[in-house]
């Protein structure tokens, strides 16, 4: 990865400067496993602030970092947690969820027939009318024109060979792809727990 990409990616981390006035709805906590790696990447493990605070009181999590934003109640003032870690280790699932976003991510957000990043949709490799299922192994990212062109045919019938064989990716594989497509909202206190390789590569 190029340095410019890394800088641009790092710039997407929201600064803590705006924290004191931050809306509570914009204060999710990044949830780490007991080994301090994110509980999940896709989707990123985030809890709403109320859930995070409840878990703190139930002593299920430790606070790793906080927003500057505070909540006040008659009995307590506390900063909203921005990073929390589970006390009990949860075995991460080896395979990611079958979601639209994760299919796009597996296919790197490009049409698997022509390579275009525009007008993306999904193609049943074996069409539904021929018994094709909606599964990791039969769904590919395709642009609308390719999808239209292929119609209800198999790749062989349409003479359209896909760039990749659709497979069910492992969580590790998606994480590798995901480094190129970071989520839109990242708080600066999350930086140490995500993309740990930024500093090493820069």
**3-state SS, residue 38:** strand
Residue where the block lists tokens 């921005």: 82
- Contact letters for Zn ion, residues 17-56 (x by CB under 5 A): ----------------------------------------
Query: Based on CB atoms, which residue is closest to Zn ion, 39 or 146?
Result: 146
Query: Based on CB atoms, which residue is closest to Zn ion, 69 or 150?
Result: 150
55: left (phi over 0), alpha (psi -120 to 50) or beta: alpha
Residue 160 C-beta: closest distance to Zn ion, Å: 9
Q: Are 180 and 8 in contact (CB under 8 A)?
A: no
Our finding on whether 140 is near Zn ion (CB under 5 A) is: no
Size of the site for Zn ion (CB under 5 A): 6
Residue 113 C-beta: closest distance to Zn ion, Å: 5
Residue 161 C-beta: closest distance to Zn ion, Å: 12
Q: In Å, how far are 98, 105, 151, 188, 192 from 183, measured between CA atoms?
A: 18, 12, 33, 13, 15
Kindly provide the residue ranges of all beta strands, DSSP E only, lying in the chain, ordered along the sequence.
13-14, 29-32, 46-47, 61-73, 76-86, 120-124, 139-143, 186-187
Of the candidate residues 29, 83, 111, 186, the single one contacting Zn ion (CB under 5 A): 111
Of the candidate residues 26, 37, 40, 116, the single one contacting Zn ion (CB under 5 A): 116
Rounded Cα gap, residues 98 and 37, in angstroms: 22
Our finding on whether 146 is near Zn ion (CB under 5 A) is: yes
Our finding on whether 125 is near Zn ion (CB under 5 A) is: no
Site of interaction with Zn ion (CB under 5 A) = 111, 113-114, 116, 143, 146
């Amino acid at each position: 990865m190029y340095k410019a990409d890394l800088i641009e990616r790092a710039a997407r981390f929201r600064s803590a400067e705006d924290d004191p006035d931050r809306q509570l709805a914009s204060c999710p906590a990044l949830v780490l496993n007991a080994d301090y790696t994110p509980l999940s990447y896709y989707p990123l493990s985030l809890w709403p602030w109320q859930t995070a605070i409840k878990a703190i009181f139930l002593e299920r999590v430790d606070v790793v970092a906080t927003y500057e934003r505070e909540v006040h109640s008659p009995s307590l003032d506390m900063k909203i947690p921005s990073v929390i870690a589970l006390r009990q280790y949860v075995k991460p699932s080896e395979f990611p969820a079958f979601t639209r976003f994760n299919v796009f991510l597996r296919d790197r957000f490009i049409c698997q027939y022509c390579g275009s990043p525009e007008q993306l949709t999904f193609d049943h490799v074996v069409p539904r009318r021929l018994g094709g299922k909606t599964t990791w192994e039969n769904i590919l990212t395709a642009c609308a024109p390719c999808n239209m062109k292929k119609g209800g045919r198999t790749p062989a019938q349409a003479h359209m060979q896909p760039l990749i064989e659709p497979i069910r990716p492992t969580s590790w594989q998606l994480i590798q792809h995901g480094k190129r497509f970071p989520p839109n909202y990242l708080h600066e206190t999350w930086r140490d727990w995500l993309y740990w390789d930024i500093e090493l590569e820069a």
